[in-house]
Amino acid sequence: MNKIYMDNAATTALSEKALDAVITKTKEVYGNPSSMHTIGHESAHVLVDARNMVAEVLNCSPDEVYFTSGGSEADNWALKAAAAYGKAKGKTHLITTTIEHHAILHTMKELEKQGFTVTYLPVDSEGLVTAKQVEEAITDETILVSVMFANNEIGTVEPIKEIGAVCHEKKVWFHTDAVQALGHIKVDVQEMNIDMLSASGHKFNGPKGVGLLYIKKGIRIGNLIEGGAQERGKRAGTENVPGIYGMAVALKDSVEIMDEENARLTKLCGKIMDSILTLPHTRINGSRTNRLPGNVNACFEGIEGESLLMLLDAAGICGSSGSACTSGSLDPSHVLLAIGLPHEIAHGSLRLSLGRFNTEEEVDYVIKTIPGIVERLRDMSPVWEDIMEEENK
Amino acid sequence: MEYSDKVMDHFMNPRNVGKMDDADGVGEVGNPKCGDIMKVYIKVKDNVIYDIKFNTFGCASAIATSSMATELIKGKTIEEALELTNKAVAEALDGLPPVKMHCSVLAEEAIKAAIDDYKSKQG
Ligand SMILES: Cc1ncc(COP(=O)(O)O)c(C=O)c1O
Ligand SMILES: [Zn+2]
């Protein structure tokens, strides 16, 4: 049986165009972009093309795009460098939310250890934070606000443009982790008042281990890696030319089919969500309106997420429970707790994240398969027994 | 993270799953907050646990250890059953990932709780 891959928020398969770009550039363009000969120049031109393609999508200038090894690196760089800049100016306060990816949250924790103060804004039951909350949290000490564009677990899309406007009014830098958003929904750094933005190639059918940080001109943050003059001296090291080019091609391709894909995925995910809600004691997490088109996140009372995932896997369906990074830990997802779910309900969560390769037939199979697996686990669950006893009183 | 074939077998086809209306002892341990709960029912005759059933809410290792523990206990005397350790259950399953060892404690504790319940009913 073919596996049904519905874990596209963890990572995606390469698109045909991206695969072709990576293979071709790996084979044909091997020079060092910094070299002073034609073979080197060829590689430099590939980088220029990639940077132009990315800049066009973001609606920025190519020299505001800095390639990195991925989303985590971009997040670490943005936060740590902004904090260092603030400290030099006597500003030591940063603002973020409780539902960020660990690349943000753990970096913030590290900055707290170094003496910075961090405000973690709570979210509402759909995972939304408001511009007003950000406005009220900003003080004279604030150097940076970092709010994710879209959440990786529950798919909630934050009011980025409004938050950016508040930050600019208050003269505070605004960073957004757009790893789940770029290539999937509209992102425009100028229109949305964004000063810095992190993204990652492997989340939009590009290669793994390559990402970017957009840094607006005038945002004067320090270098990430000292060495050669690559990335305008800010991030030294000979560039991953095929990877960067593959990411740019993947991004351009994703944006070209975005409108059509979003309509299709919204319909498919809606179908899954509606079918899950026909089962008793289930809920859909996140917002039904401000949501990534490919995200489904549900809780099934009385069962535990890992067991559910493994039975789904045995039936050929690959999903996740919480973020991929959460699976090794024992606490339920910090995102589900932040939207107010009790521990026992958060334990029974399932995330299905759909992408361009998922079909309606796959969705129908998933819809057909879930109820039996849920019933099987509930049948052997003492928690479910208690829920039923309570209900039949 | 991957489980051993034995763990997968006991997770996919758990032995002794179910409830008992006429159990001689019932034990329930864990709580929904930490993610694993196990309920054990035993029938005892002449000091021997001759039938055992369980219900578990939890991850694959919690379900697999519940299943394996009930297999190891069935037909044993009360004293033998009380000697069962979570380590022995994990070993019988060809090992558990280190982060999952704590889930195996559940089965040991649930069986002890069921035996306690049985003893208290005997007076
Ligand atoms: C919201 C978010 N930020 C950051 C990352 C990290 O990206 P990368 O895997 O490219 O380091 C991820 C990926 O899991 C993510 O979903
Ligand atoms: Zn467990």
The DSSP string of A162-224 is HHHHHHHHTT-EEEEE-TTTTTTS---TTTTT-SEEEEEGGGTTS-SS-EEEEE-TT--PPPS
Which SS3 state, helix, strand or coil, does residue A42 take?
helix
Is the model's pLDDT at A325 over the cut of 60?
no
Q: Taking a C-beta distance cutoff of 8 angstroms, is the pair A184, A149 a contact?
A: no
- Protein residues near ligand 2, an ion, with CB under 5 A: B 36, 58-59, 62, 103
The CATH number for B45's domain is 3.90.1010.10
Residue A282 phi, psi dihedral angles, 5° rounding: -130, 160
Query: What's the gap in Å between the CA of B106 and the closest CA on chain A?
Result: 14
| Token pair of A2 as six digits | 């073919």
The single residue listed with the structure tokens 């996740």 is A320
Q: Taking a C-beta distance cutoff of 8 angstroms, is the pair A183, A255 a contact?
A: yes
Give chain B's domain count: 1
Q: Which of A147, A175, A179 to mutate to test the pocket of ligand 1 (most atoms within 8 A of CB)?
A: A179
Pairwise CB contact (< 8 Å): A304 & B59: yes
Chain A residues within an 8 Å CB radius of B62: 304
List of residues 6+ apart from A245 with CB closer than 8 A: A21, A22, A25, A46, A47, A49, A50
Q: What percent of chain B shows pLDDT beyond 90?
A: 80
- Helix orientation angle between B101-122 and B60-73, rounded to the nearest 10 degrees: 40
The rounded distance, in Å, linking the Cα atoms of A269 and A363 is 8
Is the model's pLDDT at A190 over the cut of 80?
yes
List of residues 6+ apart from A143 with CB closer than 8 A: A82, A83, A85, A86, A89, A91, A92, A93, A94, A172, A173
CA distances from A249 to A16, A46, A53, A244, A253 (A): 10, 11, 8, 9, 6
Write out the catalytic residue numbers of B. 34, 103
Is the model's pLDDT at B103 over the cut of 90?
no
Residue A38 phi, psi dihedral angles, 5° rounding: -60, -35
Q: Taking a C-beta distance cutoff of 8 angstroms, is the pair A330, A114 a contact?
A: no
Q: Which residues does residue A317 pair with via DSSP β-bridges, in sequence order?
A: A4
3-state helix, strand, coil in chain B (%, to 5): 50, 25, 30
Tell me what pLDDT residue B101 has. Answer: 83
The rounded distance, in Å, linking the Cα atoms of A15 and A206 is 7
Which atom of ligand 1 is the closest one to the Cα of A201?
A: 10
Nearest CA in chain B to A315: B12
Q: Give A393's pLDDT tier (boundaries 50, 70, 90).
A: confident
CA distances from A25 to A32, A183, A214, A242, B32 (A): 13, 22, 24, 5, 52
- Ligand sitting nearest the alpha carbon of A68: 1
Look at strands A142-146 and A93-97 and give their pairing: parallel
ipTM summary value:
0.94
The rounded distance, in Å, linking the Cα atoms of A283 and A293 is 18
pLDDT average, residue stretch A30-58: 97
Is the model's pLDDT at B86 over the cut of 70?
yes
The single residue listed with the structure tokens 């460098």 is A81
Q: Give B34's pLDDT tier (boundaries 50, 70, 90).
A: low
More confident residue, A139 or B104: A139
Q: Which of A105-138 are b and which e, b meaning 16 or more Cβ less than 10 Å from the residue's Cβ?
A: bebbeebeeeebebbbbebeeebbbbbebbbebb
Q: Taking a C-beta distance cutoff of 8 angstroms, is the pair B24, B44 a contact?
A: yes
pTM as predicted: 0.95
Q: Taking a C-beta distance cutoff of 8 angstroms, is the pair A79, A107 a contact?
A: yes
Query: How far is the first Cα of chain B from the last one, in angstroms, to the nearest whole number?
Result: 46
Q: What's the farthest any 2 CA atoms get from each other in chain A?
A: 82
Which SS3 state, helix, strand or coil, does residue B115 take?
helix
Nearest-CA residue for ligand 1 atom 8 is A71
Predicted confidence (pLDDT) per residue in A218-242, tens digit: 999 999 999 999 999 999 999 999 9
Q: Which of A302, A328, A332 sits opposite B57 (nearest CB)?
A: A302
Residue A352 phi, psi dihedral angles, 5° rounding: -115, 125
Where do the DSSP E strands lie in chain A?
A: 4-5, 65-68, 93-97, 117-121, 142-146, 173-177, 196-200, 211-215, 282-284, 295-300, 317-318, 349-353
Predicted confidence (pLDDT) per residue in A76-130, tens digit: 999 999 999 999 999 999 999 999 999 999 999 999 999 999 999 999 999 999 9
Is the model's pLDDT at A326 over the cut of 90?
no
The H or E element containing residue A111 is helix A102-113
Q: Give B4's pLDDT tier (boundaries 50, 70, 90).
A: very high
Query: How far is the first Cα of chain A from the last one, in angstroms, to the nearest whole number?
Result: 44
Chain A residues within an 8 Å CB radius of B35: 304, 330, 332, 343, 347
Q: What percent of chain A shows pLDDT beyond 70?
A: 97
Residue B9 exposed, middle or buried by CB count within 10 Å (0-12, 13-18, 19+): middle
Q: Taking a C-beta distance cutoff of 8 angstroms, is the pair A367, A275 a contact?
A: yes
The single residue listed with the structure tokens 């001689």 is B24
Please tell me if residue A314 touches chain B, with a CB cutoff of 8 Å: yes
Q: Length of chain A, please?
A: 393
Please tell me if residue A382 touches chain B, with a CB cutoff of 8 Å: yes
pLDDT average, residue stretch B42-54: 97
More confident residue, A88 or B1: A88
The count of C-alpha atoms lying within 13 angstroms of the C-alpha of A90, restricted to the half-sphere facing its C-beta, is 1
Please give the order of strands across the beta sheet that includes A93-97.
A65-68, A211-215, A196-200, A173-177, A142-146, A93-97, A117-121
The residue range of the domain holding B17 is 5-122
Is the model's pLDDT at A323 over the cut of 50?
no
Residue A283 phi, psi dihedral angles, 5° rounding: -145, 155
